[in-house]
Structure 1
Amino acid sequence: MCGRYALEATKSELWERYLLGEMKEDVEERAEIFPTNYTPLIMPGNELVHHKWGFVEPFAKRPLINARAETILEKPTFSQPFRTARCLVPATAFFEWEKVGDEKLKRKIAVADIPIFSMAGILKTYQDENGNPFSVFSIITTAANDQMRAIHDRMPVILEPEDEAFYLDQKADPKLVWKLLKPTEQRLLIE
């Protein structure tokens, strides 16, 4: 599960991190991003766009903010977006709640040596009541790694920087891209 994350990075830091082209849109540093917020994504061609977080399926009571890596190639809601509309979700941390006795403690989790990391995302386009298209995204999750397991059994897929271009390559074989959807081996910083 990944229900909130942070992107405390400036426009120039994102530009440098992702070797972005011309950036028309401003970027707001955010200590906490919630489902249904508009937030920056990195698209193929290193283009930065802003989209809303959470698929809006008619059968779902609330936005679908996460997609499970294990079933993403089979689930109709997520399969086509994974095959044809992958994106990077830049973050500086994500949040998870650890159950300690009767309490739930909010933990902020960052990646030790990657100040701005990329979570694997997928994009889906819908039509509003007037027939106008709009796009939203979901974050792919996987089983927790050893560090995360004490807090939660799931975590977002955090891509290695050297795998980001392949993940964004819409011509790449989805079955090969799927192999990137695993728990990170990077050291996490947990507050």
Structure 2
Amino acid sequence: MCGRFTLYADPDFLEGYFDLENGEDLYWEPRYNIAPGQNIFTVVQGKDRLRGGLMKWGLIPPWAKDTSIGYRMINARSETAHEKPSFRKSLNRKHCLIVANGFYEWKKVDGKKQPFYIHYTNGEPVVMAGIWERWKPILGDEVISCSILTTEANEFMSTLHHRMPVLLSQDKWKSWLNPTGNSPEDLRKKYFRPITSEALDAYEVSTIVNNARNESPICIEAI
């Protein structure tokens, strides 16, 4: 699963990295402890090029009575999302990229949960497969929200947790963002298999990340 992550890459860098059509509109403060329910940076297919923007982390289905359900929808199992009323339509039609520098996972060590920070060995941004949805209340503003798809852990991640985010290589971004005509089996074969273990590295970090209010570069310092 994925319950916390970071994004401290410069918006100007990400504008060029994704060749965004609206990069001049993007700005955010570096984030070192992003938690469910917060706004996160995502990429979708625009009119001509990719387009960046913020979505609320935790998918809110159109039929939900209120936004609180989103806290239980931060992750969607890629193997079964097509069977779930909360995720089925989004999986068919509304895909996004969820961008991070890395993510956290907790492992039980000597009876305590020790946080680890996972990132790409080459330092590139981590691009997670996401699905999104619009929720319109009777009164008030529309909320656009999303979930991170997860898959079985590769050999490296299995030492920390049995699940991991679905991570997409650059050659799969555009096809993921244009999902028309893909069956659940097509999606599984094309996108949902875990990436190779060699692509990832991890190290122990301080337990200050356990509290989402702690937000500083200290969160990603190795201990």
Which range is displaced more, 98-107 or 17-26? 17-26
Confirm whether residue 48 of structure 1 aligns to residue 52 of structure 2.
yes
Confirm whether residue 189 of structure 1 aligns to residue 201 of structure 2.
yes
* Partners of 1:29 and 1:172 in 2: CA distance: 37
Which range is displaced more, 168-177 or 132-141? 168-177
Q: Could you tell me which of 82, 100, 110 is aligned with 1:73? A: 82
Q: Tell me the residue number matched to 2:28.
A: 27
Q: Tell me the residue number matched to 2:38.
A: 37
Q: Tell me the residue number matched to 1:177.
A: 187
Residues 113 and 136 (structure 1 numbering): CA distance in 2 closer, same or farther, change over 3 Å? same
* Partners of 1:155 and 1:138 in 2: CA distance: 13
Deviation of the 1:125 alpha carbon: 1.1
State the identity %: 30
**Runs of at least 5 residues in structure 1 that lack an aligned partner in the other structure:** none
1:135-150, aligned counterparts within 5 Å? 135-150=144-159
* Partners of 2:34 and 2:55 in 1: CA distance: 12
Q: Tell me the residue number matched to 2:173.
A: 164
Deviation of the 1:53 alpha carbon: 0.3
Q: Could you tell me which amino acid in structure 2 is paired with residue 52 of structure 1?
A: K
Deviation of the 1:181 alpha carbon: 1.1
- Count of aligned pairs: 191
Q: Tell me the residue number matched to 2:5.
A: 5
Q: Deviations over 1:86-117 (max 9, x none)?
A: 00001110100011121111000001125112
Q: Tell me the residue number matched to 2:162.
A: 153
TM-score normalised by L of structure 2 = 0.80
**Runs of at least 5 residues in structure 2 that lack an aligned partner in the other structure:** 204-223
1:74-113, aligned counterparts within 5 Å? 74-113=83-122
* Partners of 2:141 and 2:7 in 1: CA distance: 29
* Partners of 1:72 and 1:108 in 2: CA distance: 27
Indicate if the aligned counterparts of 1:35 and 1:65 stay in contact, CA closer than 8 A: yes
Deviation of the 1:124 alpha carbon: 1.2
TM-score normalised by L of structure 1 = 0.92
1:70 aligned counterpart, secondary structure: coil
* Partners of 1:139 and 1:26 in 2: CA distance: 22
RMSD: 1.8
Indicate if the aligned counterparts of 2:7 and 2:100 stay in contact, CA closer than 8 A: yes
Residues 181 and 105 (structure 1 numbering): CA distance in 2 closer, same or farther, change over 3 Å? same
Q: Between Structure 1 and Structure 2, which shows a larger proportion of strand residues? A: 1
Q: Deviations over 1:1-58 (max 9, x none)?
A: 1000111100111112111113213132211211011111000131001111002355
Indicate if the aligned counterparts of 1:82 and 1:174 stay in contact, CA closer than 8 A: no
Q: Between Structure 1 and Structure 2, which shows a larger proportion of helix residues? A: 2
Q: Could you tell me which amino acid in structure 1 is paired with residue 30 of structure 2?
A: E
* Partners of 1:53 and 1:140 in 2: CA distance: 12
Deviation of the 1:61 alpha carbon: 8.5
The higher radius of gyration belongs to: 2
